[in-house]
């Protein structure tokens, strides 16, 4: 079979944060088939339908194959020399007229660690500002914030292998069979072998069918639910006193606060029966080894970061951290969203979350890079858009992020992009965002580049080129270093491996990282200078002053948006198995046949009272905007709630989303949007993408 391929390359999946290791098979210069690598530590010989089949996008006729520059309202093809000179001239002009802080960049969580490190160096050193961020802002920034506050480090405390060792797993606001399907499958298998699952989600997710107990709490009430669980654990003396005394601080205030959250009171807030809260608390706390997994149903809320702190509290009071089978596993989203933040593609931190306000750290990078830098943080993504609308931000360099489709409050984002003097987009396709660009640079997908991704277990894994970039497209590494040189700042790297060596040199917790050491098995950070890695964190101390973890006493507060007579339903947004985020890639694969358009999920009883039936097109209106899409009836959603995704540009879901965001990290409240649903569409009729010639769906296996 293998001799039908001219080459097989072992690499890492570029979709989600599970980090499946893949074998990419090439014929006629293209990747034509993918199979699982049997020794992948996260996937152990499995993949999902995206990693295994959704690779046709790479050879799509829509790929960007040459730079584009804006001319008289449209784009024309340009040479690399012309496009890069245009970027250097415009960024140089804006910097001299308005200062470097009038420029901002976004790094791509779809790209490698090395790409993201180079991007933040480009913005910090070649441009001269800390205005750099990545889409972790709209995703798990609350997780990162809270884990650092409670335990010290910004990453899962254990590994996926802990799932098979646990007796109980609590899943809150995460839907692994859709978002992280290989982990979803591992959980399902573990449940069939005896792992007790507790799920908390306003929708009855598939894994609820494999669990002991499902809690359909109202969107935005996780804090009350966590407090209710803590209340029962404390009241029924299920806490681990020795662990609390020897390894933690601040428990007393938590104990006092939890006293008010009786199961009955919490039932009133969350809608979860008091008896279920009692049962869930006992199941979790009585296990010897229990894991907690969470996702965006926790983070994308007004108090998302506080809920993650409450999750940490529950684990601490029952000593369910730092041991095999007792892990906190936030299921990080994109293939490298963990890594892009680890690399310092954030406005306030360098690598390993070390603050730009720390003089010693900034001085060390100044010396290494030969530049001077400020000691104040730069702008977060929403601040960038506000500054653009206000006229203070003049240019953006957006690398692998489709903000005009995926960020909240689309109308505001569009206004911001229109307000800019100069916009560069570096992507593999034209996107909603690149419509506003002055220069579009054609980059390479994960199948065409080398470097590393860091998965949701903090595991760095190698990415190896299985094919050439199409046309004159270049790798992100080549493009970013070339633009930097054109700005007069040579970085001096020859390959991405040199970048990893600098990361290791500059970052004590990553000291032992190198492409060679990462090898086939990967390395989980921290990595000591001798190469020893860390599958489990906090086995004997936490990474905070004094070595102790910190409890946080945080009461439940109401979500930012609320239903009323005009907007009586709550819209929750999330993911579909077949498509991926902006959908630029999966909509150009056979997955489009599996799911050709999006729908609004409505409970049959709500549909009856609204006078709508399955398949009807409806108008969904929020306080921000309106969209139109067809209805699908399902009993998996609680009454009073509706659900849709955001993978299709023609739907424009995020026109509905407002500016409410997590109090500590500005992560948008994508999960609670008060809406009305009306039978007849008064919004623009649902525009389907024009039929185009399909790519051949070759799959040689």
Ligand X SMILES: Nc1nc2c(c(=O)[nH]1)N[C@H]1C(S)=C(S)[C@@H](COP(=O)(O)OP(=O)(O)OC[C@H]3O[C@@H](n4cnc5c(=O)[nH]c(N)nc54)[C@H](O)[C@@H]3O)O[C@H]1N2
The pair of structure tokens assigned to 612 is 């709508």
Of 590, 422, 468, 474, residue with least CA distance to 111: 474
Query: Tokens 């909603």 belong to which residue?
Result: 432
Query: Out of 177, 513, 653, 676, which residue is the one contacting ligand X (CB under 6 A)?
Result: 653
Cβ proximity of 220 and 301 under 8 Å: yes
* CB 51 to ligand SF4: min, Å: 2
Site string for Mo ion, 288-327 (x = CB under 5 A): ----------------------------------------
Calpha distance 111→126 (Å, rounded): 20
Helices (H) and strands (E) in the chain, counts: 24, 26
577 binds, among Mo ion, ligand SF4, ligand X, none (CB under 5 to 8 A by kind): ligand X
Calpha distance 539→46 (Å, rounded): 30
* Binding window for ligand X (CB under 6 A); candidates: 242-250, 296-304, 376-384, 387-395: 296-304
Pick 40 or 219: Cβ nearer ligand X = 219
Residue 139 interacts with Mo ion (CB under 5 A): yes or no: yes
* CB 561 to ligand SF4: min, Å: 31
Residue 217 interacts with ligand X (CB under 6 A): yes or no: yes
Calpha distance 285→320 (Å, rounded): 9
Element of type H or E holding 36: strand 30-36
Residue 17 interacts with Mo ion (CB under 5 A): yes or no: no
Of 173, 268, 265, 176, residue with least CA distance to 219: 173
Residue 431 interacts with ligand X (CB under 6 A): yes or no: yes
Query: Tokens 């669980």 belong to which residue?
Result: 229
**678: which strand partners?**
619
**638: which strand partners?**
none
219 binds, among ligand SF4, Mo ion, ligand X, none (CB under 5 to 8 A by kind): ligand X
The pair of structure tokens assigned to 393 is 């931000």
**524: which strand partners?**
459
* Binding window for ligand X (CB under 6 A); candidates: 184-192, 485-493, 573-581, 591-599: 573-581
Query: Out of 114, 133, 267, 427, which residue is the one contacting ligand X (CB under 6 A)?
Result: 427
Calpha distance 507→493 (Å, rounded): 18
Calpha distance 205→199 (Å, rounded): 8
Binding site for ligand SF4 (CB under 6 A): 13, 15-16, 18-20, 43, 47-48, 50-51, 180-182
* CB 132 to ligand SF4: min, Å: 26
* Binding window for ligand X (CB under 6 A); candidates: 1-9, 168-176, 454-462, 514-522: 168-176
Q: Give the N- to C-terminal CA distance of the chain in Å, as an integer.
A: 8
661 binds, among ligand X, Mo ion, ligand SF4, none (CB under 5 to 8 A by kind): none
Residue 320 interacts with ligand X (CB under 6 A): yes or no: no
Residue 674 interacts with ligand X (CB under 6 A): yes or no: no
Angle, CA of 209, 213 and 219, to the nearest 5°: 90
* Binding window for ligand X (CB under 6 A); candidates: 256-264, 275-283, 439-447, 495-503: 439-447
Query: Out of 671, 674, 676, 683, which residue is the one contacting ligand X (CB under 6 A)?
Result: 671
Of 312, 196, 303, 355, residue with least CA distance to 552: 312
Cβ proximity of 477 and 449 under 8 Å: yes
Residue 502 interacts with ligand X (CB under 6 A): yes or no: no
Residue 183 interacts with Mo ion (CB under 5 A): yes or no: no
Residue 143 interacts with ligand X (CB under 6 A): yes or no: no
**DSSP output for 264-296:** HHHHHHH---HHHHHHHHHHHHHSSSEEEEE-H
Query: Out of 333, 400, 408, 451, which residue is the one contacting Mo ion (CB under 5 A)?
Result: 333
Cβ proximity of 423 and 106 under 8 Å: no
* Binding window for ligand X (CB under 6 A); candidates: 147-155, 170-178, 413-421, 498-506: 170-178
Question: What residue ranges bind ligand X (CB under 6 A)?
Answer: 16, 108, 110-111, 135, 138-139, 172-175, 178-180, 200-203, 205, 217, 219-220, 222, 295-297, 300, 331, 333-334, 399-402, 406, 426-429, 431, 443, 445-446, 476, 572-575, 577, 579-582, 584, 646, 653-654, 657, 670-671
């Amino acid at each position: 079979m293998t001799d039908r391929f001219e080459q097989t390359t072992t690499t890492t999946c570029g979709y989600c944060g599970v980090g499946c290791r893949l074998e990419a098979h090439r014929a006629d210069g293209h990747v034509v088939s993918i199979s699982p690598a049997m020794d992948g530590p996260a996937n152990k010989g499995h993949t999902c339908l995206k990693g295994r089949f959704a690779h046709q996008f790479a050879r799509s006729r829509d790929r960007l194959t040459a730079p584009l520059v804006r001319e008289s309202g449209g784009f024309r093809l340009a040479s690399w020399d012309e496009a890069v000179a245009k970027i250097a001239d415009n960024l140089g002009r804006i910097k001299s007229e308005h200062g470097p802080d009038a420029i901002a960049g976004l790094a791509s969580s779809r790209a490698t660690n090395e790409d993201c490190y180079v991007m933040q160096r480009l913005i910090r050193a070649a441009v001269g500002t800390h205005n750099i961020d990545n889409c972790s802002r709209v995703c798990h920034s609350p997780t990162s914030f809270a884990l650092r506050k409670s335990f010290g480090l910004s990453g899962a405390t254990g590994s996926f292998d802990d799932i098979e060792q646990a007796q109980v797993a609590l899943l809150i606001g995460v839907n692994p069979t859709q978002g992280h399907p290989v982990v979803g499958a591992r959980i399902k298998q573990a449940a069939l072998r005896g792992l007790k699952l507790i799920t908390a989600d306003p929708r009855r997710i598939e894994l609820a069918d494999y669990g002991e107990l499902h809690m359909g709490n109202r969107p935005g009430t996780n804090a009350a639910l966590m407090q209710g669980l803590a209340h029962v654990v404390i009241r029924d003396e299920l806490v681990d006193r020795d662990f609390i005394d020897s390894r933690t601080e601040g428990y007393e205030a938590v104990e006092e606060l939890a006293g008010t959250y009786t199961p009955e009171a919490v039932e009133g807030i969350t809608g979860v029966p008091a008896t279920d809260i009692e049962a869930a608390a006992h199941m979790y706390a009585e296990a010897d080894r229990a894991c907690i997994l969470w996702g965006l149903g926790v983070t994308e809320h007004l108090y998302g970061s506080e809920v993650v702190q409450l999750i940490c509290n529950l684990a601490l009071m029952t000593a369910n951290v730092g041991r095999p089978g007792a892990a906190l596993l936030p299921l990080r989203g994109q293939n490298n969203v963990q890594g892009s933040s680890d690399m310092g593609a954030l406005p306030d931190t360098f690598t390993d979350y070390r603050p730009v306000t720390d003089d010693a750290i900034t001085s060390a990078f100044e010396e290494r890079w030969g530049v001077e830098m400020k000691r104040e943080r730069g702008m977060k993504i929403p601040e960038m858009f506000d500054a653009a609308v206000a006229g203070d931000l003049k240019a953006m360099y957006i690398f692998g992020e489709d903000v005009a489709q995926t960020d909240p409050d689309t109308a505001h984002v569009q206004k911001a992009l229109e307000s800019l003097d100069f916009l560069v987009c570096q992507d593999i396709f034209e996107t909603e965002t690149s419509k506003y660009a002055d220069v579009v640079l054609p980059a390479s997908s994960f199948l065409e580049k080398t470097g590393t991704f860091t998965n949701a277990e903090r595991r760095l894994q190698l990415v190896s080129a299985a094919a050439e970039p199409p046309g004159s497209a270049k790798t992100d590494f080549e493009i970013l270093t070339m633009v930097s040189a054109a700005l007069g700042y040579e970085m001096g790297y020859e390959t991405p491996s040199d970048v990893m060596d600098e990361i290791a040199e500059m970052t004590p917790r990553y000291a032992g990282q190198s492409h060679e050491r990462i090898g086939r098995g990967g390395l989980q950070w921290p990595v000591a200078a001798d190469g020893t890695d860390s599958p489990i964190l906090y086995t004997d101390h936490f990474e905070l002053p004094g070595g102790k973890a910190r409890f946080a006493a945080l009461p439940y507060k109401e979500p930012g948006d609320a239903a009323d007579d005009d907007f009586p339903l709550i819209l929750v947004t999330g993911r579909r198995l077949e498509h991926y985020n902006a959908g630029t890639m999966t909509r150009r694969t056979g997955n489009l046949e599996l799911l050709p358009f999006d729908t609004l999920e409505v409970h049959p009883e709500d549909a009856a009272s609204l006078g709508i039936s399955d398949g009807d097109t409806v108008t969904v209106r929020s306080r921000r905007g309106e969209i139109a899409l067809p209805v699908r009836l399902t009993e998996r959603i609680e009454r009073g709630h509706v659900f849709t995704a955001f993978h299709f540009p023609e739907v424009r879901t995020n026109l509905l989303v407002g500016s409410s965001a997590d109090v500590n990290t500005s992560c948008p409240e994508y999960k609670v949007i008060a809406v009305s649903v009306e039978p007849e569409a008064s919004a623009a009729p649902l525009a389907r993408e024009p039929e185009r010639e399909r790519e051949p769906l070759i799959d040689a296996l």
